[in-house]
Structure 1
């Protein structure tokens, strides 16, 4: 799964790196090294032919599912073809840019956080699904989820699932309205950045606190004064 991510550059920086110098912004979110569910984060998407960067609530549940299905923050790639996700797969594809994400290992109460990132330190473009419409009863109606897949290779010793990350070119194709849902699903299955392109290191347990922020919590543990 992916329960936190490092989005420590500005939304405008990520849009420029993505090649969207013409993007329309409706984003006031500042950079954070510890983006948590239940917060608004910038999401890249295409709407009415425009390249847009909008702040979207990280957590999703459609209004009809209240009391039936829990609010979720991730969507399993193998389940994107289901009726639950079909509308968002057709009209709600997005990209969440980031520097990395966090996973935890160890026993409950003693879990160690890790920062996972590209070896070349290029930005990550995480596949997302979102309802970009307004909410009427609760914020999760108009939220987003990150698409996850089975981890592979050496990443299994960190976590058994990971967000689907694409290079900028494939991520732009994921956003294209010309892509059918089935084509988008096939792209997600076959164009993800390979596990061997990632590296990871231990970080301070300060990241366990969702309100903690600042560049120090994303640094390798060996570069920090303590683990608290």
Structure 2
């Protein structure tokens, strides 16, 4: 995880799920995002705090430090290493939430192609994924090295049959604490390691193999088969 996701709700739906009273600076737009097959390296709606304002911005999915230009930019960061390794040191303090409707994983079931599965929260509520990044500055505008990664942890329970890793998903209360710059880094790490939502909070089902082609964009991609 996580290599493909959906953001089809509107940004105000995601903000409502976050239950955050801060004023919103929205550069994403008012309409539903209607993105059912979002791939790495593309722009993804992200929520982050700057001062007292909650910002909704489109940010590139993937980031690498300036000294790592010889490798592809990761799209995910392992929770076991993200707080202490040198690779993400520059962005570890810059916390964000990637709000999504679902994500996809592929399973080898012996057929000619791997079978994609859609994973979503039971009840269909938005999923609040912990993320870090080099984030847009409202005073300076977007920068060339803006980008973010989603933080992942080991899967437990039944989800391990789908994939051995999954995003760290926070409750709205924890997501607000995660975004708060006043939250100490040590507390932020503990949240990621021990307080993410368990596998029992999610459900998953098979979807059309056409989700594997990023040129396919329609809402039919999220229907169970």
| TM-score, structure 2 as length reference | 0.90
Instruction: Specify the alignment match of 1:25 in structure 2.
Output: 26
Runs of at least 4 residues of structure 1 off by over 3 A? 133-136
CA displacement at 1:49 relative to structure 2: 2.3
CA displacement at 1:110 relative to structure 2: 1.0
SS in 2 for 1:89: coil
1:135 is the counterpart of 2:147: no
Render the CA deviation track for 1:186-222: whole Å, top value 9, x for unaligned.
Answer: 111111011111110000011001121121110101x
CA displacement at 1:153 relative to structure 2: 0.7
Q: 1:156 to 1:142 in 2, by over 3 A?
A: same
1:125 is the counterpart of 2:128: yes
Render the CA deviation track for 1:15-68: whole Å, top value 9, x for unaligned.
Answer: 12322462111225933111111211110000122111111001111222212x
Superposed counterparts of 1:105-120, under 5 Å: 105-106=107-108, 110-120=113-123
CA displacement at 1:98 relative to structure 2: 1.0
Q: Where do 5+ consecutive residues of structure 1 fail to align?
A: 222-228
Whether contact under 8 Å (2:106, 2:117) holds in the other structure is yes
Alignment partner of 2:178 out of 158, 174, 180: 174
Render the CA deviation track for 1:131-173: whole Å, top value 9, x for unaligned.
Answer: 014434xxxx211111001101111110100111111111111
Instruction: Give the aligned CA root-mean-square deviation in angstroms.
Output: 1.7
CA distance in 1, matches of 2:57, 2:96: 10
Alignment partner of 1:146 out of 143, 150, 153: 150
Q: 1:109 to 1:77 in 2, by over 3 A?
A: farther
Deviates more, 1:28-37 or 1:50-59: 28-37
Alignment partner of 2:52 out of 29, 42, 49: 49
Q: Relative to total residues, which structure has the larger helix share, 1 or 2?
A: 1
CA displacement at 1:180 relative to structure 2: 1.6
Q: 1:37 to 1:108 in 2, by over 3 A?
A: farther
Instruction: Specify the alignment match of 1:78 in structure 2.
Output: 80
| TM-score, structure 1 as length reference | 0.89
Render the CA deviation track for 1:52-111: whole Å, top value 9, x for unaligned.
Answer: 1111001111222212x4311100001112222233221x11101111110000169510
1:66 is the counterpart of 2:100: no
